[in-house]
Amino acid sequence: MEEIFGISYEDIQHNVLLWLKHFIFAILILWLGMRIVRLVTRGMKKALVARQVDPSLLSFLESLVKIFLQAVVIIATINQIGVATTSIVAILASAGLAIGMALSGTLQNFAGGAMILMFKPFKVGDFIEAQGYSGTVQSIQIFVTILTTPDNKQVVIPNGGLSNGSLINYSAQPKRRQEWTFGIDYGSDLDEAKQIIRDLLAKDERVHAEPLPLVELLALADSSVNIIVRAWVDSENFWPVYYDINTAVYKIFTERGISIPFPQLNVHLQK
């Protein structure tokens, strides 16, 4: 039996056929794997589009999942050829751990941004209060959310704390309950004052008739009889209605002779 470098032709033929078989299987794994990756990413994209995920987050997640799955397919292909992939996986895992530790805060903000963009506890244009700040949402980015305060300051809030902490979204509901407290003098007519307020609310088309506005005696305070008023309005009319009713009540109370008291102290001197 002829030999080459001490190896028989049969062994060479066997090894070549074995290597060709592994190579063909590797090509098959690579081809099928890449097709599966395309199908998975396409299905994920359709699902995210159906959930109306932000386009910037959609493209990022699509790229991230695609790269991860392609890396798995390539490692499986290399392993099928016969190359040891244990060291490659260990290096990639170590590198990923080091990068994750170095960018822990950044990754937390990214995860928070992804959660906000997916579940949408608020959207651009909403007025929110969170992390000690309140303002209108101007933009929701991957790592931060930008607010504009009522006095036109720009506030940049990291998404990590924003997604994990409590927040108030004043724009989430279509209507809100407005509340006033009006004080009148002890000598004024309580029933007349209450009726004036009811008439003002009934004339204002921005105030909802249902639920019925509440106008009741709240407390007998030190210097005034306090009337509490509660009424439901559309969210966009919350502050305009508040200011307009305040102005109207003050003017009509003045016209009708209903005194609006201020804190005062009576001092009696005895000889």
Query: Quick one: 131 and 192 in the same domain?
Result: no
Angle CA(87)–CA(91)–CA(95) in degrees, nearest 5? 170
Query: What residue has token string 């009811």?
Result: 198
DSSP letter (8 states) at residue 124: T
Q: Give SS3 for 37.
A: helix
User: Quick check: 233 pLDDT over 90?
Assistant: yes
Residue 163 sits in a domain whose CATH number is: 2.30.30.60
Q: What span, in angstroms and rounded, lies between the C-alpha atoms of 99 and 113? A: 19
The 10s digit of each residue's pLDDT in 7-43 is 565 666 666 677 777 788 888 888 898 899 889 888 8
| 240 part of a folded domain | yes
84, 159: one domain = no
Q: Compute, in degrees rounded to 10, the torsion defined by CA atoms 25, 30, 33, 34.
A: -160
| Whole-angstrom distance, CA of residue 15 vs CA of residue 35 | 30
195 has pLDDT over 70: yes
Query: Does residue 85 or residue 115 have the better pLDDT?
Result: 115
pLDDT band at 164 (very low <50, low <70, confident <90, very high): confident
Q: Which distant-in-sequence residues (6+ apart) come within 8 Å of 2 by Cβ?
A: 8, 9
Q: Does residue 153 contact residue 217 with C-beta atoms inside 8 Å?
A: no
Q: Average pLDDT, whole number, for the chain?
A: 84
Rounded percentage of the chain residues whose pLDDT exceeds 90: 42
Q: Residue 138 belongs to what domain range?
A: 121-169
DSSP, residue by residue, 209-236: SSSPPEEEEEEE-SS-EEEEEEEEEEGG
The predicted pLDDT at position 1 comes to 47
Q: What is the pLDDT of residue 156?
A: 94
pLDDT at 88: 64
pLDDT score of 69 more than 80:
yes
pLDDT exceeds 80 at position 262: no
pLDDT at position 49 = 80
Same domain? 67 vs 138: no
Flag whether 189 is in a domain.
yes
Q: What is the mean pLDDT of residues 215-238?
A: 94
Separation between Cα atoms, residue 136 and residue 261, nearest integer Å: 37
> What is the pLDDT averaged over residues 192-205?
96
Within 10 angstroms of residue 156's Cβ, the number of other Cβ atoms is 13
| 162 and 192 inside one domain | no
- Residue 214: what are its φ and ψ, rounded to 5°? -100, 125
146 with 160, same domain? Answer: yes
CATH of residue 42's domain is 1.10.287.1260
Most confident of the following: 57-71, 84-98, 154-168: 154-168
What is the number of domains present in the chain?
Answer: 3
Same domain, 203 and 242: yes
97 and 13, same structural domain?
yes
pTM of the model: 0.62
